[in-house]
């Protein structure tokens, strides 16, 4: 069976659902798109959080996360989309205090089997922060 490749966006303009815990924000995609039972979707969400070392925030909600944790959860939510092409929109707007792209690349590397491709979009004047990625 073939599936269409789907865009899954990570952006500060697409916040986490604040009345749901972190794991529910992630599992929601599987539950809704694939009609996956809650228990199974929960296990997948927890396993995904473990990949990023974020299992300790599974039962927290959006307002109590720091920027790095929030980015991790938004990224995991995006990669839950089946055959996802992840689009990261202005990553430094999600974690403004970072000066280099390394954290984002390291995070993406940890879950590279979860998605097909990833595109990062940002303004031209931010290219300094991208180092060798913008020759």
Binding site for other proteins (CB under 8 A): 6, 8-9, 13-19, 24, 28-29, 31-33, 35-38, 41, 77, 81
Least separation in angstroms between CB 114 and other proteins: 15
The conformation of residue 53, written as its DSSP 8-state character, comes to T
Instruction: Give 48 or 101: the residue with its C-beta nearer to other proteins.
Output: 48
Shortest distance, position 27 Cβ to other proteins, whole Å = 8
Query: Whose Cβ is closer to other proteins: residue 81's or residue 101's?
Result: 81
Q: How far is the CB of 29 from other proteins (least distance, A)?
A: 6
CB 14, min distance to other proteins, A: 4
Cα(96)–Cα(70) distance, rounded to whole angstroms?
12
Nearer to other proteins, 14 or 116 (CB): 14
Cα–Cα distance measured from residue 38 to residue 20, given in angstroms and rounded to the nearest whole number: 14
Report how far residue 126's alpha carbon sits from residue 123's, in angstroms, rounded to the nearest whole number: 6
Task: Quote the least distance from Cβ 77 to other proteins, whole Å.
Answer: 8
Nearer to other proteins, 13 or 132 (CB): 13
User: Which pairs count as long-range contacts for 94-100, CB under 8 Å and 24+ apart, including other chains?
Assistant: 94/10, 94/11, 94/12, 94/67, 94/70, 95/67, 95/68, 95/71, 96/67, 97/67, 98/129, 99/129, 100/129, 100/131
DSSP 123: -
């Amino acid at each position: 069976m073939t599936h269409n490749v789907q865009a899954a966006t990570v952006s500060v303009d697409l916040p986490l659902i604040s009345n749901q815990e972190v794991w529910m924000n992630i599992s929601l995609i599987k539950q809704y798109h694939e009609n996956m039972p809650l228990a199974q979707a929960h296990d997948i969400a927890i396993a995904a959080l473990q990949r990023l070392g974020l299992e300790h925030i599974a039962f927290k909600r959006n307002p109590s996360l720091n920027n790095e944790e929030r980015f991790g959860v938004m990224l995991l939510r995006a990669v839950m989309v089946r055959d996802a092409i992840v689009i990261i929109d202005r990553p430094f707007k999600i974690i403004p205090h970072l000066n280099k792209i390394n954290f984002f690349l390291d995070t993406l590397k940890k879950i590279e089997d979860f998605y097909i491709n990833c595109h990062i979009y940002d303004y031209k004047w931010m290219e300094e922060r991208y180092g060798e990625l913008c020759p």
